[in-house]
A and B are shown apart, each in its own frame.
Chain A
């Protein structure tokens, strides 16, 4: 039967069907976007411009937080090519988009090409210039300026068929100079800064497929991952340490596979997954240090280490979803995983070419986790539904720490810890009025033997949300609290986090819109600590507490105006203000220090809170020059101010940044 004949045959049917059609009244006919070229429709835009930045204050902190700088950029670009009838010769869709190309610190590009029924290829490329002065965490001795790059490639063959093939490749790389520290020749000496050349690379290859048979879909994927690090550390001269060099090449690989089975019927759906990843890493370390120790004696030391680490991980999940009635859904998930980390090394240390120290190390850390979760969701009416669930987790952690010399038995320290978490969740969704939705849920849990003093033990969470939404506006408010109390006989730890939020957006007309939100994030924690301090000799100090109080007010507002077709204006303001515990200086008389370590307690008090203000007002204007060309101008101010610096460091800065660009769209 020819296509023309079919058309003739079907035409009366269409005419018949159209007899009773009434025109739609609430939807307007939109123009066809882009340009038609042959069998394709093409839409594209390119925005070229110049970015500028002017800075006052701490430039290191600015580079760490913001990092925009001067230069010519391809700020944005977008290209889509679509076949008009879904039957393009080589492809049916191409999408290509970029951001920040030309040396912005945040660059990305995406690309997709596909031919219906035949193939689909996706690429995501990203690059991030990373800078961190490491001032408050490491005295600036861990300063780092690196480039982090990602690539993800995914190819699917026969994407719409019952049998699909998939292949993929991902690449991650870190490169750049940095500083790090070494501590020679004993644990009481000062740390010396050394140069570091960071070189890391990760490659992953994926191959798999999906098959569908009688309503069940089976997926299998095989992956091969390779990681290598060739970072080296070097120093030529410093006080105490006159020569230092270290290389520690590492080669890791993780072969793995994953299988998934999915099936659904009217009253039941099942989903089963199993994965295995067999991580392994081999390493060598060669370190040489020459200098004088803290007593002034000449020292030279060489350390050689070889070894490897294995981490096989097996995990499986089984989900059953039941739909006994149209109103009720019951879901049960059972999952089990087993992680075993086995590592050993052989360390040889040569001091002053005479004394030799050898050690053998064996370490094992095993984590076995079994979880089960059951949830039920019942819809009473179209506007009211409830859900509740119970979760159970059984975890066992086994540990072996062995160290010894070759030829002698290892001196093993073994440990075993098991813990169980039981948690209940419940919630309600309610639409009390048209367009108004309310959601409330809570979770309460108990862990009988948490792994760390800051882990969840007796905890609860509450979340509530109210949202009103129409075609032109939306408004919402939310509350969330997460409380945890992990106090035991000797140490007391509690954490209380509360957040309040409200947001609204309003698209009054096509030429004006408003978007705003406010959040308050409160956190107060208190934990018992134990440490050594004192003068002239340090003694163990107990009874002190680590307190942290944060009260962050965050607000943002954005207002957009369109002046007919000629110009768009956007103004916005973002504010983050931590008022801390209300004090204006690192020390406060309101805090009483427990004897005997008043000076130490003072140090603790200065780290209890960290009030600061970070604000970023911005404005953008876009002027239409002709049908295809617009001129854009943007400005953003960054102001960072700490009420008092940590460790007496002042990292305040203010920066004026902006760009001017031409946008060519057609």
Chain B
């Protein structure tokens, strides 16, 4: 077969492949969307996204329905259908995330969203937020915050139903008081490995200190692990069967597990100091360490936290 014949044969095939050009997908405006989606439109004036429509100044790709779903021209021409519009249910998680971040990436609270544990697990905006049918007037959550988090975190729910707990189910404390579901900055305590979703208080401190203001200090005599390793060295932050959310049912085992003098632990690198020989553990009064060491989180007057 000569090259000329090949070309002659190929030309019609190429022409066949180049069928009519795809029509340009044009922006049609939110009022057009209303025609088929009146249920979405009816209450959309209560939606925070309505502000872009109310302003009347935004470009077509930054306002109304098409601000999130993309140009609707092809969708209208096709008589509807998810393949012709930017339907979030059809997007990959990172597509959904990037669509929302077009506008929402600039706030500090979401600055670390791309490295958050949620994003790594493909839990993105549309997993928790319901833009059109949210039951919450603020933040457009798909459910009330507590129930929303419990959807995936069943073990955390179990902890908040224990007898000793932070009052999350009672509605006075919220998950976001301590956590940033959009990803957090690197903490200044522990070694930066396991605290990925904690929201530091006052930019740098453990979130516990937002409410437990008396534990904040600075103290002349710091109980070093509180600052270095964090409150959860001794406490279970969500809920516990033990009093004061302690990791152990009795206080003395909490203390003795560290104060054993072994190794290179502690602030002097020579082991955490053992208890005094004057403490006889057969005497019940020495079994409740904090009865005497009342300022266990830090003291301004006594290095052993007695006053």
Contacts and interface: CB of A to CB of B under 8 A. Distances in A.
B111 A453 contact: no
A534 B275 contact: no
Contact of A554 (B77, B161, B214, B248): B161
A533 interface: yes
A421 B155 contact: no
Most-contacted residue by chain B among A403, A413, A499, A554 (CB, 10 A): A554
B189 to A, nearest CB: 8
B217 A311 contact: yes
Contact of B29 (A14, A127, A341, A647): A14
A514 interface: no
Contacts of B40: 27
A533 to B, nearest CB: 4
Contacts of A204: 202
Contacts of A387: 120
Contacts of B10: none
Nearest to A480: B155
Interface residues of B, number: 137
A24 B264 contact: no
Contact of A319 (B115, B204, B274): B115
B275 A521 contact: no
A395 B191 contact: yes
B221 interface: yes
B214 to A, nearest CB: 5
Contacts of A187: 276, 278, 292, 306
Contacts of B77: 20
A142 B289 CA distance: 12
A415 B228 contact: no
A245 B139 CA distance: 50
A445 interface: yes
Interface stretch (B1-9, B15-23, B237-245): B237-245
Given A254-B202, A552-B158, A339 B227 contact: yes
Interface string B244-288: 101111111100111111111111111010111111111011011
Nearest to A610: B249
B61 to A, nearest CB: 15
B219 A531 contact: no
Nearest to B158: A554
B146 interface: no
A536 to B, nearest CB: 9
A112 interface: yes
A603 B111 contact: no
Contact of A533 (B80, B280, B290): B280
Nearest to A215: B106
A403 B32 CA distance: 78
A333 B186 contact: yes
Given A24-B80, A106-B170, A200 B218 contact: no
A524 interface: no
B172 A128 contact: yes
B262 A528 contact: yes
Which size bracket describes the interface of A in this complex?
A: 35 or more
Contact of B192 (A92, A373, A385): A373
A148 B188 contact: no
B129 interface: no
B13 interface: no
B66 to A, nearest CB: 12
A299 interface: no
A137 B43 contact: no
A17 B193 contact: no
B197 interface: no
Contact of A441 (B120, B270, B281, B301): B120
B137 A95 contact: yes
Contact of B111 (A86, A127, A260): A260
Most-contacted residue by chain B among A399, A452, A616 (CB, 10 A): A452
Interface string A334-371: 01010101111101000000000000010101010101
Given A82-B46, A371-B191, A379-B92, A106 B167 contact: yes
Most-contacted residue by chain B among A83, A181, A467 (CB, 10 A): A181
B217 A279 contact: yes
B185 A399 contact: no
A309 B219 contact: yes
Given A21-B35, A32-B43, A501-B154, 4 more contacts: A21-B79, A343-B218, A365-B222, A521-B155
Interface of B: 28-29, 31-32, 35-40, 42-43, 45-46, 50-51, 53-55, 76-80, 92-94, 101, 105-106, 108, 111-112, 114-115, 119-122, 137-138, 150-152, 154-155, 157-159, 161-164, 167, 170-173, 185-186, 188-189, 191-194, 202-205, 210-211, 213-214, 216-222, 224-225, 227-229, 233, 241-244, 246-253, 256-270, 272, 274-282, 284-285, 287-288, 290-292, 294, 300-301, 303, 306-307
24 contacts: A22-B80, A85-B54, A99-B171, A174-B214, A183-B292, A273-B108, A309-B217, A309-B218, A315-B186, A319-B111, A345-B220, A365-B222, A371-B191, A371-B192, A375-B120, A421-B193, A439-B121, A455-B265, A476-B152, A476-B154, A531-B275, A535-B280, A610-B242, A646-B250
